[in-house]
Structure 1
């Protein structure tokens, strides 16, 4: 396995990663394999556990970690695992994982908390295998036909095991992007009459026959039964996949040999379809648990002939090389690369944390650069080197020297790692609340869903639109906020904030009042319309009047909504709550959050014509408060000296206090 540290050697401790070893896992339908990566490319402590032996995925991880911790402590090494990456034979969409070929189901975030991890990444197993390809040694791949791969060409990946995996690798500048897919579930396409008969046999049981149904380990057993039926064998000997393969390779069993012949040909069809679909001039790689066990037989099997059998495209296909991956644990290499990229590349921790830890070792000039990056990481990601140097009060060569000190090739490489660290540090995603969830799980899911939605709003903020909206609101003669229901509460909250900033503002939650307000708008006014659904409905009349008045319309709503299309500017609020939600939750918080962003932006906007009015108002309030406190103190002294009145009235001070507090 090739390894690349991605960080200056002076920052790599001799005992591995700064914050301990990383946990790697490759989870299939039958086995779960675990390993530790102690340093870049140093993968050890490999252990295979049977999935059937554990009721839950987390239990299997805990069993491995307990065993690992005992060994590490015996060696006097750091046993704490903070970061983990899992490759799983399953589609990964959101937080909830439900395995296709096993009964395990789990929440990624709940598992992260249970295992006390800082980071838990879960990716499709073929996404991981795809990312392993650039890091494999040539000795770990055997070429089966074809010519030379095109440098920088797209790479395809096919693998048969418990299921059928399909993936790809797309070059992008100096890195690769893994293309995840569920291509194994496309409909099976027979390549000849025999395969058509096998498909017909499967149709007796399944209405949909996917490629995975036949081109996989279990598919070999299905093909065995189908061919036996076609040969009139009434009660074929029940054989498992391993037994069929063993007999086929040993010779002497014609039926098993025919099964293996069919399997290799059908795999050739699948690989060829992937090649023409993706244009894999960089080659097709064959992984999974079946083909590597076929040894020399695979090279002489019908695989390559079927791969090239594409009619008018035979010449095109003949040039594409195909390889069999022979590395023992390639998925570990892939998930290690994915985890390294997620954590910002290089050594053990996200790049911002590495900067903090290494700060005392920097030169005085480099410390200035470090201080700027730690204080304004997002600004640094988008600024040119000249601006970074100016703000840090250093030379441009110092900025480059700092980047290389951090193990990066230059500023562009540093920004890429910085972006990964800044945007990838909150490991939460939207997850469903289910009946039967504990109170703690409900609370955690609600909070995590809110955080996830807030992160999405943050990452999708359009800087130009936000700046323009803040400038427009700062210069407006007056601002009118419209909203219904929970959005009406947001409008009222906005009105209070803007009024305190010295901006004439009103909030209307009644349709008729909104229409009256809209009819009085001028071209120098702004109306902010707040809607979690973005539907016009009751807002339509007021919106049309506002448009006709020439006032600027700003929408806080979903980006593709009706309201967004009518507005001059839209600050998008995307959320997973349905439009018929009776009690909006996440959307309400997102809208309030955007109002806060606008309020802070306006407050910081010193060019606002209302800024001086705001300062005058604040000085007036402080002066009035000071005068009030002085009068109250004087009244208390007078009351104490004079005592109760002759009429017995003990409340002489109260009217004075009330008049001043008013």
Structure 2
């Protein structure tokens, strides 16, 4: 007996087979924009395992509607029925989850050894938990408990609005909207958070700042921008990343306050995991800047989750709860 889980992001398509105790026994990784489709990859793994899985759970970077999901940052659509046929199962045994719904599920079995706490910790605290992840996009999820049973609350928190925090930033936002008009929120000087707080958005944000400052934008791609900012080699990159860090800290703190996250707020995702140096004092100050509720925010545990398998483990946790199996310790 085995279970099939997956984490399908804008960059990688990752699958794993897990045993009844929840341990990963096989893994497969493909590029999301490659030739291998998710149903084909699932069918191949099922054939290699020699039997259909007991159940399937796939975490996908997109909004799930009526058993289908169109990925937000990749030209792919995924259907529960297609996955069921590929795995030889009834569709009722296939779960499609938003990727950060799955990320929230991963908090039910949080491994303290893979969390670096910026405040609070290291022992898990009772109460709701929030996870936020700047990666290809910006994911947000939360975990709450109904008695002893955990459940994730899905949403699209990565698309809440950001506005300038100072007069200096007005020109940056105007330039960003001119470069990428789709991310503007209505007619206001406001953009989706993902337009700045993600690897996809960072190149636009960097070019907008360079344009507003009258500087050349020599850097290509988010990785180069973060590297230049870390080295202090490009003034526009330094400003773009510094502002991103402040916005990210503020959004994380806001979401923790909204959810009453006494169990902690956890940052993850490729951008954060690969650039841990960003989560500095300015990030913590922005997280705790809550006006009359600053002390409330400062009491929330805040940590960086460095486990690259958080999406897979969350899909597993959700599947096991649905199948009334005990979660791994």
TM over 0.5: yes
- Distance in 1, Cα, partners of 2:298 & 2:226: 28
Check 1:87–1:231 CA distance in 2 against 1; reply closer, same or farther (3 A cut).
same
Instruction: Name 2:35's counterpart in structure 1.
Output: 54
TM-fit CA distance, 1:334: 1.1
- Distance in 2, Cα, partners of 1:189 & 1:343: 43
TM-fit CA distance, 1:38: 2.2
Are the counterparts in 1 of residues 140 and 156 from structure 2 also a CA contact under 8 Å? yes
Matched position secondary structure for 1:98: strand
Are the counterparts in 2 of residues 82 and 116 from structure 1 also a CA contact under 8 Å? no
The answer to whether 1:40 aligns with 2:10 is no
Counterpart selection for 1:107 from 79, 91, 95:
79
TM-fit CA distance, 1:156: 1.2
Are the counterparts in 1 of residues 320 and 326 from structure 2 also a CA contact under 8 Å? yes
Matched position secondary structure for 1:246: helix
Q: Deviations over 1:141-185 (max 9, x none)?
A: 111125788942211111111111111111221121211111111
- Distance in 2, Cα, partners of 1:264 & 1:44: 37
The answer to whether 1:123 aligns with 2:104 is no
Counterpart selection for 1:190 from 153, 164, 184:
164
Query: Where does structure 2 lack aligned partners over 5 or more consecutive residues?
Result: 186-190
Check 1:34–1:194 CA distance in 2 against 1; reply closer, same or farther (3 A cut).
farther
Are the counterparts in 2 of residues 213 and 219 from structure 1 also a CA contact under 8 Å? yes
1:203-222 map, 5 Å: 203-204=177-178, 205-206=180-181, 207-208=184-185, 209-222=191-204
The aligned length equals 317
TM-fit CA distance, 1:124: 1.0
TM-score where L is the length of structure 1? 0.45
Query: Which fold has the larger relative contact order, with Cα–Cα distance below 8 Å and residues 6 or more apart in sequence?
Result: 2
Are the counterparts in 2 of residues 286 and 323 from structure 1 also a CA contact under 8 Å? yes
Matched position secondary structure for 2:33: helix
Q: Deviations over 1:359-410 (max 9, x none)?
A: xxxxxxxxxxxxxxxxxxxxxxxxxxxxxxxxxxxxxxxxxxxxxxxxxxxx
- Distance in 2, Cα, partners of 1:30 & 1:283: 28
Instruction: Name 1:227's counterpart in structure 2.
Output: 209
Q: Deviations over 1:69-128 (max 9, x none)?
A: 1xx5xxxxx554342110011111212222221121232123312331342111111111
1:157-176 map, 5 Å: 157-176=131-150
Check 1:200–1:172 CA distance in 2 against 1; reply closer, same or farther (3 A cut).
same
The answer to whether 1:344 aligns with 2:324 is yes
Check 1:202–1:251 CA distance in 2 against 1; reply closer, same or farther (3 A cut).
closer
Instruction: Name 2:188's counterpart in structure 1.
Output: none
- Distance in 1, Cα, partners of 2:65 & 2:273: 30
Matched position secondary structure for 1:280: coil
The answer to whether 1:97 aligns with 2:78 is no
Query: Where does structure 1 lack aligned partners over 5 or more consecutive residues?
Result: 1-18, 73-77, 348-662
Check 1:43–1:148 CA distance in 2 against 1; reply closer, same or farther (3 A cut).
closer
Taking only aligned residues, the RMSD between alpha carbons, in angstroms, comes to 2.3
Q: Deviations over 1:274-330 (max 9, x none)?
A: 0121111221111111111113x2342521111111222222211112110011211
Matched position secondary structure for 1:81: coil
Instruction: Name 1:447's counterpart in structure 2.
Output: none
Structure showing the higher strand proportion among its residues: 2
Check 1:144–1:346 CA distance in 2 against 1; reply closer, same or farther (3 A cut).
closer
- Distance in 1, Cα, partners of 2:116 & 2:232: 24
TM-score where L is the length of structure 2? 0.88
